[in-house]
Amino acid sequence: MNETHYISSELLDLQTIQQIINSNKKLELSDEALLNIKKSKEYLNKKMENNKTPIYGINTGFGSLCNVEISSENLSKLQENLVMSHACGTGEYVPKAIIKLMLLLKIQSLSYGYSGVQLQTVERLIWFYNEDILPVIYTQGSLGASGDLAPLAHLALPLIGKGEVYYENGRISSKDLLEKFDVEPITLEAKEGLALLNGTQFMSAYGIHILLKSYKLCYLADLIGALSIDAFDCNMSPFDPNVHLVRPHGGQIKTAEHIREFLEGSEIGANEKKNVQDPYSFRCIPQVHGATKDTLKFVHKTFKTEINSVTDNPNIFVSEDKIISGGNFHGQPLALALDYLSIAFSELGNISERRTYQLVSGLRGLPDFLVNNPGLNSGFMIPQYTAASIVSQNKQLATPASVDSIVSSNGQEDHVSMGANAATKALRIIDNIETILAIELLNASQAIEFRRPKKTSELLESFLASFRNTASFVEEDRVLANDIHASVAFIQSFTIDEELLFSN
């Protein structure tokens, strides 16, 4: 039987979300959330009974149509029209894991009781989540300003029996799915369409998905980097704690600590070195990897705040007797954070590829391109090309999306964050980092064999033994694409203790 996660005002964090995902927990509203949703809806209904004052998005049009009043008999139609008209997504399909996070984060935001939605609307979203009924959503269409309008419209379509959903390894129309379960579509009431569409759950879900992958990749970059250090027969002095205590950036200190731990007891590391200094890509691992860790900490803080916030509009404050139209849907904090993360992880890939380049260069007693009989065999010449091409693509993808803006809605929405573009670009960069690190791992594991009979540390020998079940030593040329793909799969399946993962 699956465990249950109760939606409440208790702060969501990365560890909690990972546990919900990994344990396949079901969602349920806490008593607190039930009360918040009911109070907010009752207040809105009472406010609307005899109210003739225009309230944005409740009895008016949207965007630049905010001054158009809507009659009471058309309020439900207004919300349904909003959802349908805004479902203009294009491009690739959003990964299912991210759609599921979007549902979780939208439910969390609506549960605080500042949105004026029906309880049955939130419960229907929970039903979608628990039954793995995932709306079909597209990557393109959001400006990251009035929230993620187009993607969230597609998230909301199945509530009214429109659009498509993924269900049981296939796609089915929402209408057919509801009929299959003998469930009626939701009749949206005043403000509900706006509450569903305004919000940052597309950007936020991408950000959380990326953060979970990023912590793992940060750890693996240190681990694989440590293997490369021994593979290239590097000095250990640059990792001495004294060096880092006089420049005490947190990420730098943590990375140097990792390197020392990973290489403790290494026979290769204990060797007397002929080389006085090593290239920066080895010597400066703490400084470069560490800066990425510090960026990750900042981005984590930004997203933790966001996923525990109310980001639709207008907001209903029952105790203050106010309905206020503001701008909490604007994605600027997320856009900047995602761009920062993209730049930081692009650099993690950049320095990894440089280590790969050094390992194939025929230096430090290693054969050219890490293969016997170079010339007859090209060995690891071309995997470095592949890494270089991906690194170059990452540099292009790391160009900030947040420096751009474009006017929309007849000038009413005259500054936008482009956070959705920042999010989709950032995921491509993170996925690319997996491949770049996989190629470094292939090269470092190959190079270590040329250091035999000397061994690296016990920890890294164990890591290598596990990896060798995936990719064997390359005696002579073969189709290395297979080894790269196997190495990527190894990285993706590699598990790290949660305490270690989030202590980066």
Residues annotated as catalytic (active site), given as ranges:
56
CA separation for the pair 107, 29 (Å, rounded): 9
Q: How many residues are recorded in the chain?
A: 504
497 token code pair: 């203790």
> DSSP code of 246?
T
Closest among 449, 426, 462, 213 to 339, alpha carbons compared: 426
Contact 390, 432 (CB under 8 A): yes
Q: Which residues contact 13 (CB under 8 A, 6 or more apart)?
A: 304
The residues pairing with 167 across neighbouring beta strands, listed in sequence order, are 170
CA separation for the pair 315, 325 (Å, rounded): 6
Helix axes 458-468, 201-231, angle to 10 degrees: 110
Q: Helix or strand or coil: residue 169?
A: coil
Helix axes 250-262, 201-231, angle to 10 degrees: 50
CA separation for the pair 306, 75 (Å, rounded): 30
The residues pairing with 69 across neighbouring beta strands, listed in sequence order, are 60
Q: Is 2 exposed, middle or buried (0-12, 13-18, 19+ CB in 10 A)?
A: exposed
Contact 251, 208 (CB under 8 A): no
> DSSP code of 416?
-
